[in-house]
Amino acid sequence: MDPLNTRFYNEVFTPYLELLKTGYRFHPAFEHARQMWEAKLNETELVNGPYLEKSQTYAFGETLQNLPLDAKTIETIRTRLKGRSLYQHQTDALKLVLDKKNAIIATGTSSG
C-alpha cells in the first residue's frame, strides 16, 4: 500500500488540480490572467492558498443567427461579448422578451 501522502497526492490533490485547470474559463482578452492562474496551480500554492470556491459553469446557448434579432443588434452583441457566445440563460431571456413575455433572470455574478 502506498504511503498516505502519496495516496493523498494521487487521489485528492491531482484530481483537484485537474478540476481547477478545466473548471475555470478565461475570456481570450484575459490570456495573461489565465497564464498567471495556471502558474499558481502547484502544490505549494494550493496547499497554502489560494482558497477558492468553485462557481457555476454556464452552458452556452443558441447562436445569434438562430435568434430573430436585427442585424445591428447581433453586431452590437458580438462587439460587447468580444467573441464569447451567449449563455443559455441569456438566449432563453431574449426569446421571452422577443415573444413579448416578462422575464426575471437570476444568475451568479459575472454570468452575463
83-109: pLDDT as tens digits: 788 999 999 999 999 999 998 888 877
49-74: pLDDT as tens digits: 555 455 667 889 999 989 999 999 99
CB 58 within 8 A of CB 89: yes
Task: Please report which residue ranges of 1-112 form alpha helices under DSSP H.
Answer: 4-8, 14-23, 31-40, 43-48, 71-81, 88-98
Domain locations along the chain: 4-48, 55-112
Radius of gyration of the chain from its Cα atoms, rounded to whole angstroms: 20
94, amino acid identity: L
Mean pLDDT of the chain: 82
Read off the pTM. Answer: 0.50
**Model confidence at 10, in pLDDT bands (50, 70, 90)?**
confident
Whole-number Å distance between alpha carbons of 100 and 63:
20
